[in-house]
Structure 1
Amino acid sequence: MHKILVLEDDYKMGSELRQFFTNRDFNCDQVYDGHMFFKQTELTTYDIYILDVNVPGLNGFDVCKRIRQNNKSVPILMLTAYSAVEDKVNALQNGADDYLVKPFHLEELLARVNALLRRSQNSSTEEKKVYQIEDLLINSSEMKVSRGGKEIVLTPKEYRLLELLASAEGRPVSKQTIATKVWDINFETGTNTIEVYVNYLRNKIDKGFDKTLIHTRTGFGYYLK
């Protein structure tokens, strides 16, 4: 299930968008201003962002630009009440992948969201990415991990967990997300499987090194930094 975060200060419009995407098997959250947006992204990892331009605090252009400073790949679609060419150019120059001018048809919005998600998925599949956190290197094309120049042997589950944490770019990854993306199951509070595997990783990634890279944020999840 794809996760969408909508930045929209119009309560009626935001509620309509949430209900529309929920009915189409998306997980959709909404925030009302730019500062709330970044607080929400610290709690959850999203697959796509939909940003209205005219919102309190940081406007949509500023939010888009700030996202792109830290995340080059997440799809961003902007909603604007302006059809002027300069506003469209501004959206694209700040890192948006697409835009829609209000008013718009919800089915067109859905089609554009699905197109961006397909493009993002194809790009991530084809991309040979290397993650680097301090002296830790994760080569996703070869599925190899090393730290301080020394190769670290991981099991497939350990590797998937480590790559998931790396792809979050410093944001906490919840147990629910880990369970879904690493084990393909819904998280059950009675199991400690995730804690066990995080400890496996810590023994292989952090043990013997001066700097700890795998961290816990209580109530939010685990992150690499």
Structure 2
Amino acid sequence: MDATVLIVEDEPGIADVLRITLKYNGFTVHSAATGREALAAAREHRPDLVLLDVMLPDGNGWEVCRALREERAAEGADDADDLAIIFVTARDAPRDVVAGLALGGDDYITKPFGVDEVVARVHAVLRRTRRRESAATRVLRHGDLEMDESTYSVRRSGQPVELTPTEYNLLRHLLRNAGRIVTKEHLLQHVWRYDTAVSSTVVETYISYLRRKLDRLGPPLIETRRGIGYGLRAPEPDTGGGAR
């Protein structure tokens, strides 16, 4: 399953087992050991699912869950309701399970657990959240650029833009992170699923392909932050100049 999982766990042994198992099963995996690290990692990596320990050194997972959902809602993100959260904890009292689910958790796994159970729960929760996502038309917009995820079509200034699958995936990731600079390493992991050691030349090449296709229909859209990465420029006001 093509998805990104964030593991929030302060016990290194448990975190390592989960990370290795999920990577083996095809997931992109990131980890954090505290609530503060979890929020920072979620902003950077935009996970599809969070495996969230309830007892953390700087607070508890319930507070992190609330903060994760509030942050995405405040951003107006299209995926705000599709972030899946599974609590992982030794606290198995019924009141704890009920409290976790009431606070926005999608599932609750108690320790000790089997890794096969965790993988099965992750798959099941992601199937549910992705069904919610596919039930409605997903349209991403930024200025005069529009991407309809239900038809895999892109238009700028009302004109269709023909993209290859890789160009489409790269542009979709930039659109989903509009307003922020996305690092080359992040793009390699999420668009190409490469390790961070791989050369960033492939990112630069495909950015140039996108620019060539998008800039013929309007002002330059993709911003380069030298030595860091790329992002989408703030939409320019319409001056009536039309396509260039």
Given candidates 131, 148, 154, the residue that maps to 1:139 is 148
Do the aligned partners of 2:187 and 2:203 also contact (CA within 8 Å) in 1? no
Unmatched runs of 5 consecutive residues or more in structure 2: 73-79, 234-244
1:20-66 deviation digits (Å, cap 9, x = unpaired): 43454544332110111132234434342100111133531222223
Bigger Cα displacement from structure 2, 113-122 vs 61-70: 113-122
Q: Matches of 1:213 and 1:41 in 2, distance apart?
A: 25
Query: Which residue does 2:240 correspond to in 1?
Result: none
Name the CA shift for 1:171/1:108 in 2 (closer, same or farther; >3 Å): farther
Q: Distance in 2 between matches of 1:117 and 1:219?
A: 34
TM-superposed deviation, 1:220: 5.6
- Following the alignment from structure 1 to structure 2, what is the Cα–Cα distance between the partners of residues 132 and 58? 37
- Note closer, same or farther for the CA distance 1:119–1:171 as it changes in structure 2 (3 Å cut): farther
In structure 1, what is the Cα distance between the partners aligned to 2:226 and 2:65? 28
**Superimposed CA distance per residue, residues 64-98 of structure 1 (whole angstroms, 9 cap, x where no aligned partner):** 22322313213221113333444323322332211
**Aligned alpha-carbon RMSD (Å):** 3.4
1:53–1:60 contact (8 Å) kept in structure 2: yes
Pair 1:163-2:172 in alignment: yes
Match of 1:201 in 2: 210
What's 1:21 paired with? 22
Change (3 A) 1:150 1:195: same
Deviations 1:140-193 (A, max 9, x none): 12333345x533423234333212332456572422432349xxxx9952x744
| Identity among equivalent pairs (%) | 31
- In structure 2, give the amino acid aligned to 1:57: D
Counterpart in the other structure of 2:89: 80
- Residue 32 in structure 1 maps to residue 33 in structure 2: yes
1: CA distance, partners of 2:43 / 2:9: 18
Conserved 8 A contact 1:175-1:221: no
1:174 and 2:187 matched: yes
TM-score by length of structure 1 reads 0.74
Matched residue, 2:242: none
